[in-house]
Chain A
Amino acid sequence: METPTLPPQGAIKHGGRWRRVRRFIALPLAALALSGCTVPSFGAHAGATVGSKSVYHLWQGFSIGAVVIGGFVVILFCYAILRFRRKGDNIPRQSQYHLPAEVLYTVIPILVVFGLFAATLVVENKEVANPKTNVTVDVNAFQWGWKFTYPGTSTSVIGQTTQAPTMVIPVDTNVHINLTSTDVIHGFYVKEFNFSRYALPGVLNQFTIQAVKTGTFFGQCTQLCGLYHSLMFFNVKVVTMPQYTAWLASTSNAAAAAAAKATTKQQTDTGVPTKPATSHGDN
């Protein structure tokens, strides 16, 4: 009986196969580059604010990375399961490691991660910044509606569930939002802002947005807050600055008394909201 000779471990030939794999990556990348200036949206949207646009671009950047890396892995995977199917009963070479490859697929992901982190930081710092601004809205979330008050005025907008109160803000201006809750945690989410923030009881969350186009944008509560969580709607209406100033003035005077009453009502209310238009059987 001879001494078993182990095949030389870890020697993977480079060449043909690797070149083919590289070609697989080059093609889609070239297609991407040659497709023109438009990078695909990968499911997201540019939205209506300055911040939403940067977030959108960050999303696209991450997605390109995901497609490249994910695509590469899927190609390797598919190649492996197709090329190395069992053809008989022989036992393949028992290779157990390949140091160069292992180093590569440790180091490259680390570098990619740091790149993603750097891009994240840039956008994140913009998103959490609170520059000086002239327009402030206090947002108060409660079970199960929203109240928008404008400090320095007596304007107050309040609504429950599908009444969907509307927050009016001016376009192209930094709007500072003070967000809190009077009971449980709620989530302030507007799809077109590519943004959400928790309304926490006892905490004042502050953020700044600058809308770049006018229109009415839908928002709703995203953090589970009890029975009518699915119906806690609101709207954000972006108007021009003159329209905003006019609106503020008119609502301030007329609504001064009404706002006070609405606040008291909310405090004495047992919290049962108005039945939404379509009833669908509660408990």
Chain B
Amino acid sequence: MRVEAKILLSLGTFFGVMCAVYWNWSLENAGGVMMFAGMLLCFLPGSYYYWWSRRMKARPEDDPHATQSSGAGVVGSFPGTSIFPFTLGMGAFFVVLALVFGIWFLVPGIGLFVWAMLGGTAEGRRGGNV
């Protein structure tokens, strides 16, 4: 995971330098704050990956001499079909309509939203459809 970590940490460092130069030179706060936040947002996963990269053994995809057999086994869980993304999407749609047309749209909106959150979580725990 070293390359991944390095990408994010370098980006974060670059933003840090840019932020320092910009904020001190322009004294403009919006840009300064946004660049600073961008720097933090890069350092967060970047340092996580960096910490892990020093503690994990090489994954098959990090090994330039790996063979396909070294990746044998379960790769991950890929839930097949699920109605809950659609449900959640419709819930979000109605919530947005509530912002525009009236608060009563929140009834189907939050309703679908909650159903999707509960149903989707339960589905995930079950292992999902094939």
A and B directly contacting (CB within 8 A): no
- B→A interface (CB under 8 Å): none
